[in-house]
Chain A
Amino acid sequence: MKINKRLNGSELLVELSGRLDTNSSPILENELKDDLNNVKLLIFDFKELMYISSTGLRVILSTQKIMTKQGDMVIKNPNELIMEVFDATGFTDILIIDKT
Chain B
Amino acid sequence: MFKRNFELTYAKYREFFLPTLLITASINITSVIDSIIIGNLIGPETLAATVLCVPIMTIITCIEMILGFGGSTVATIAKAEHKFLKTKQVFTTSILVLLIVGILMAIFGTVFLGDISNILSQGNQRLFQLVNDYLGFIFIGTPLMLLSLGFSYFIRAEGKPNLATMVFIVANVVNVIMDVVFIKYVNMGIMGGSLATLVGYCFGMVLIIRYLISKDRITQFTNKIGNIFKTLKSIFVLGLSPASGQIFMFLKILIINSLVIITIGSSGAVAMATCFDVLLIVSILVAGVCETFSPIVAVLYAEKDNNAVKFVMKHSFKIAIIISILITISIIILPNVIVQIYGITGSENINATIDALRIFSLSFVGVTITFIMLFYNQAIGQNKLSFLISICEGLLILIPVAYILSNIIGIYGIWISFSIAEITTILIILVSVKIISSKSKGKYKGFLLLEKSDDLEIFDLTIKGLNEVMTLSEKIIDFSKSKGLSEKTSVYLGMAIEEILVNIINYNNNQNNLINNQNKANNKKKHAFNKKKKLDFIDILIKIGKREVILSFKDSGIEYDPTVQSDDVQKFDNITVLKKISDKISYSKILGLNNTIITIKKTN
- Residues of A in contact with B (beta carbons under 8 Å apart): 19, 21-23, 51, 53-55, 57-58, 61, 80-81, 84-85, 88-91
Contacts and interface: CB of A to CB of B under 8 A. Distances in A.
A75 to B, nearest CB: 15
Size band of the interface chain B makes with A:
20 to 34
A22 B498 contact: yes
Nearest to B497: A53
Given A85-B491, A89-B572, 5 more contacts: A51-B494, A54-B578, A58-B573, A84-B491, A89-B580
Nearest to B505: A22
A23 B471 CA distance: 10
Given A54-B577, A89-B572, A81 B498 contact: no
B487 A81 contact: yes
B184 interface: no
B572 A54 contact: yes
11 contacts: A21-B498, A22-B469, A53-B502, A55-B502, A57-B572, A58-B570, A58-B571, A81-B488, A85-B581, A88-B581, A89-B572
Closest 7 CB pairs of A and B: A54-B577, A57-B572, A89-B580, A88-B580, A53-B498, A23-B470, A22-B502
Given A19-B470, A21-B470, A84 B574 contact: no
Contact of B491 (A58, A61, A81, A89): A81
A54 B470 contact: no
A53 B499 contact: yes
Contacts of A90: 580
A21 B473 contact: yes
Nearest to B488: A84
State the majority secondary structure of interface residues on B: helix
Contacts of B470: 19, 21-23
A84 B499 CA distance: 16
Contact of A57 (B473, B477, B577): B577
A85 B578 CA distance: 11
Interface in B551-587: 570-574, 576-578, 580-581
Contacts, number: 55
B467 to A, nearest CB: 8
B474 interface: yes
Dominant secondary structure at the A interface? helix
Nearest to A55: B502
B494 to A, nearest CB: 7
Nearest to A82: B491
Contacts of B572: 54, 57-58, 61, 89, 91
A27 B137 CA distance: 74
Nearest to A50: B491
Interface string B485-512: 0011001001100110010000000000
A89 to B, nearest CB: 5
Nearest to B571: A61
Nearest to B502: A22
Contacts of A55: 502
Contacts of B473: 21, 53
Contacts of A91: 572
B329 interface: no
B302 interface: no
B228 to A, nearest CB: 48
Contacts of A80: 487
A85 B498 CA distance: 14
Contacts of B177: none
Nearest to B469: A22
Given A85-B581, A89-B580, A53 B495 contact: yes
A69 B301 CA distance: 56
Given A51-B477, A54-B499, A81-B491, A22 B570 contact: no
B566 to A, nearest CB: 15
B466 interface: yes
A22 B577 CA distance: 13
A54 B576 contact: yes
A51 B470 CA distance: 11
